[in-house]
Amino acid sequence: MAFTAYGLHIGIRVSDAVVLPRLPELLPFGWQPSKDPEVEYLYSFIVGNTAATTGVKRLHVVYSDAIRLERTDDLEIALKALERDLHLFVGEMARGRVFVHAGVVGWKGKAIILPGPSFTGKSTLVAALVRAGATYYSDEFAILDECGLVHPFARPLSLRCADPYVGEPVGVEELGGEAGTQPLPVGMIVTTTYREGGTWLPTTLSQGKAVLALLSNTLSARRQPEVVLPVLEIVAAGARAISSTRGEADDIVAQLLATDWKGN
């Protein structure tokens, strides 16, 4: 199959059509199918099995162009490897958009961006904000255009429940919320990490530190600095930036949503 996403034309080939129905759920939000066989980047998925006659186990193998991403007997692990690399590739190479690793919600006509790497509690905080009435935009990437507006990337949230290292997909409707559909200006940048027993004592970040907080989580920062920096500077100039450790997400939601935007 071939598809387009954020100005990129990508193909995925499989050795067994049995996995084709699983592929759409792995693709970036907003992807579109393509009939053009000429692609810029190609993923290959070799489907393994166990030969009944010989008892030989053939593993699932995933390639990103010529680079092997995964070799495993677990189909779900192989699919997750494909999804993870595909999203990182699109985020780094996207045309006309800057991908920042962040959670995003909409509130009172503006966006709240929560930049940070995995395992810092972004998805949990995004879910708590949505339950409190904020509009869901993303728990994975803040997608910024050249004017600094943030666009929806509203795939299901990935919430870690039974296994702290494996996220389970949760639709925004299950949280009693709704997904945003229109780009928003950024009103607030919040850098925060969960710590057991942590206290919410936010301090204001300078514009320079706000840019650095976004830059350190931007996928294309090294590849396209001449594109990235102007966008991040626009965002930081128009938003209030705060930083603090936190405890449980539900304990800080009301305070966070009551925080004034820049200039208010």
- The 3-state secondary structure of 22-60 reads HCHHHCCCCCEEECCCCCCEEEEEECCEECCCCCCEECE
3-state secondary structure of 244: strand
Per residue in 118-144, pLDDT tens? Answer: 777 888 899 999 999 999 999 999 999
For residue 112, give the nearest of 98, 133, 92 by alpha carbon.
133
Alpha carbon of 252 to those of 6, 17, 157, 169: distances in Å?
34, 47, 20, 24
Q: Which stretches within the chain are classed as H helix? A: 75-93, 122-131, 207-215, 225-238, 249-258
Do 35 and 9 meet the contact criterion of CB atoms below 8 Å apart?
Answer: no
pLDDT for res 169: 81
3-state secondary structure of 103: strand
Cβ atoms within 10 Å, residue 52: 7
pLDDT for res 263: 62
Instruction: Report how far residue 218's alpha carbon sits from residue 10's, in angstroms, rounded to the nearest whole number.
Output: 21
Instruction: Report how far residue 132's alpha carbon sits from residue 112's, in angstroms, rounded to the nearest whole number.
Output: 14
What stretches in the chain show pLDDT beneath 50? Answer: 50, 162, 165
Do 150 and 144 meet the contact criterion of CB atoms below 8 Å apart?
Answer: yes
pLDDT for res 122: 87
pLDDT for res 261: 85
Instruction: Report how far residue 208's alpha carbon sits from residue 121's, in angstroms, rounded to the nearest whole number.
Output: 24
* Topology annotation, domain 98-258: Rossmann fold (3.40.50)
pLDDT for res 79: 95
Do 27 and 86 meet the contact criterion of CB atoms below 8 Å apart?
Answer: yes
Domain boundaries, the chain: 2-93, 98-258
pLDDT for res 154: 84
